[in-house]
Amino acid sequence: MNFDFIQQDVLAQKEKSRYRQLVCNSTSNQHSGAEIVVNGQSYVNFSSNDYLGLNNHREINKALQEGIDKFGLCSSSSSLVTGYHYAHQALENDICQWLNKPKCLLFSSGFAANLALFQALGKNEQSHFYLDKLSHASMIDGAYHSKATVKRFHHNNIEQLTRLLSARNNNTTHHSATVKSTAEHPDKTPKNTFNTLIASEGVFSMDGCQAKVRELAQLAKSQQSWLYLDDAHSIGVIGDKGQGSNYFANVDITMATMGKALATSGAFLTCSEDLHDYLVNFSRHYIYSTAISPAIAWATRKSVALIQKEHWRREKIAELSALFIQLLAPEIKLVVSHSAIHALIIGDEKKALHISAQLKKQGIWLTAIRPPTVAVNSSRLRVTICSHHNIKNIRYLAECINKAIA
Ligand SMILES: *Cc1c(COP(=O)(O)O)cnc(C)c1O
């Protein structure tokens, strides 16, 4: 039969307890932000990425309507044709001010922005990418689908990364020496012939732990490399104004989705003037894709403004997270985190699914995360604590988890 693998692969997925199915969420804006309604049943939601509880915020909704009235819902073309509106430019400027960056570029999703960036910088094998082992699927796909030479370093292991970069330098010296002996090469000092990018996530999506941003930035500088951080889970949550990784150091390139803490949709990338110019001219994902909705861009401006001034949202995540960690039974394995994400490592897929089902019976929605999203034998419950949760929610969650696991 044609495309036999379709049925075979799905069957194999079922046998490994890795089968996935869409679940239709019927929550409406009549429900509180902490709730999820599925099949008419209401649950407290601990799997959402609405970290700052901004989804359905009255002022953001109002700004969306205003954006529709001013610019329309659809951009009606790609940015380089006629799709780039005042709303996009204004949002880019707001983001540049917030993160103190020269330039910002909008994409339709974080996944597309990652593909775009790695493909643009991975022009040929002279480009060398060094990715943290736990980098998101979209970074890995972007890197490996480019022409760059890709290396992965152990999660947050600065020593190993330093060794890898130094080895590259030794090869460079060797390489330029041979060039010199065979051809005219007037430059005496060995040149860095490679283009190097270090890439990681500000806050890791499935663990909640943070990259060592200051050390990475220092290393990048000393090794004449650029640092790229995916701030999907840091933006809004980390930093005194929710700036994410740029709070700790001046990161060369950052990307963040607007579909998590910013509670709208799309993504932005911040970079230098030169890289901005290059992407606008050469990034196929940018050039051949419809610009994001100008109304959504307009609504996101409101979200960015609220994030900078409403510190209580970040404080609440920290307080509730501390309470959760304190209430969990000591034998439960929890990844250390200062973000909104708290991973309870279970191991086996079946066990993780079983605990998730048990919690569901008690009115808690907590999706089990299984391979290939996480490594084999590290299936987990990924708890997200958001500013719309309350102390009662957290006490109940800890109580139910303790009973289900211990
Ligand atoms: C969610 C996520 C993305 C993708 O962003 P979308 O806007 O949802 O496509 C990229 N990187 C990381 C780390 C993410 O968690």
- Domains along the chain? 17-52+311-405 (3.90.1150.10), 58-169+192-309 (3.40.640.10)
141 among known catalytic residues: no
Pocket-forming residues, ligand 1, beta carbon under 6 Å = 109-111, 114, 136, 138, 201, 205, 230, 232-233, 257, 259, 267
Whole-number percent of the chain with pLDDT over 90? 90
Q: Whose CA is nearest to atom 6 of ligand 1?
A: 110
Inform me whether the pLDDT recorded for 172 exceeds 70.
no
Catalytic residue among 92, 132, 230, 252: 230
pLDDT band at 329 (very low <50, low <70, confident <90, very high): very high
What is the distance between the alpha carbons of residues 393 and 182, in angstroms, rounded to a whole number?
71
pLDDT band at 177 (very low <50, low <70, confident <90, very high): very low
Contact status, residue 158 vs residue 215, Cβ threshold 8 Å: yes
User: Does the bond joining 372 to the residue before it have cis omega, within 30 degrees of 0?
Assistant: yes
Inform me whether the pLDDT recorded for 121 exceeds 90.
yes
- What spacing in Å lies between the alpha carbon of 137 and ligand 1's midpoint? 9
Sign of CA dihedral 91, 95, 98, 101: negative
205 among known catalytic residues: yes
Catalytic residue among 57, 85, 260, 302: 260
Cβ neighbours, 10 Å, residue 392: 9
What is the mean pLDDT of the segment spanning 50-71? Answer: 98
Q: Whose CA is nearest to atom 3 of ligand 1?
A: 110
What is the mean pLDDT of the segment spanning 202-206? Answer: 97
230 among known catalytic residues: yes
Tokens of 166: 């130094």
Tokens of 55: 């989804």
Looking at residue 27, what is its pLDDT?
Answer: 92
Contact status, residue 387 vs residue 317, Cβ threshold 8 Å: yes
- What spacing in Å lies between the alpha carbon of 111 and ligand 1's midpoint? 6
What is the distance between the alpha carbons of residues 41 and 243, in angstroms, rounded to a whole number?
37
Q: Whose CA is nearest to atom 4 of ligand 1?
A: 110
Sign of CA dihedral 226, 232, 238, 241: positive
Looking at residue 191, what is its pLDDT?
Answer: 56
Inform me whether the pLDDT recorded for 171 exceeds 70.
no
Tokens of 143: 């890197």
Contact status, residue 96 vs residue 304, Cβ threshold 8 Å: no
What is the mean pLDDT of the segment spanning 295-324? Answer: 98
Question: Which among 163, 186, 166 is positioned nearest to 174, based on CA atoms?
Answer: 166
Tens of pLDDT, residues 354-375: 999 999 999 999 999 999 999 9
Q: Whose CA is nearest to atom 1 of ligand 1?
A: 232
Catalytic residue among 17, 32, 42, 49: 49
Contact status, residue 343 vs residue 380, Cβ threshold 8 Å: yes
What is the mean pLDDT of the segment spanning 309-317? Answer: 98
End-to-end CA distance of the chain: 48
Query: To test ligand 1's pocket by mutation, which of 106, 138, 233 has the most ligand atoms within 8 angstroms of CB?
Result: 138
293 among known catalytic residues: no
Q: Model's pTM, two decimal places?
A: 0.94
Inform me whether the pLDDT recorded for 175 exceeds 60.
no
Looking at residue 49, what is its pLDDT?
Answer: 97
Contact status, residue 51 vs residue 387, Cβ threshold 8 Å: yes
Looking at residue 181, what is its pLDDT?
Answer: 42
∠ CA 397-398-400, rounded to 5°: 65
Whole-number percent of the chain with pLDDT over 70? 95
Q: Whose CA is nearest to atom 10 of ligand 1?
A: 110
Inform me whether the pLDDT recorded for 188 exceeds 70.
no
Classify each residue of 181-215 as buried b or exposed e, where b means 16 or more C-beta atoms within 10 Å of its C-beta. Answer: eeeeeeeeebeeebbbbbbbbbbbbbbbbbbbbee
What is the distance between the alpha carbons of residues 81 and 332, in angstroms, rounded to a whole number?
54
Looking at residue 178, what is its pLDDT?
Answer: 44
191 among known catalytic residues: no
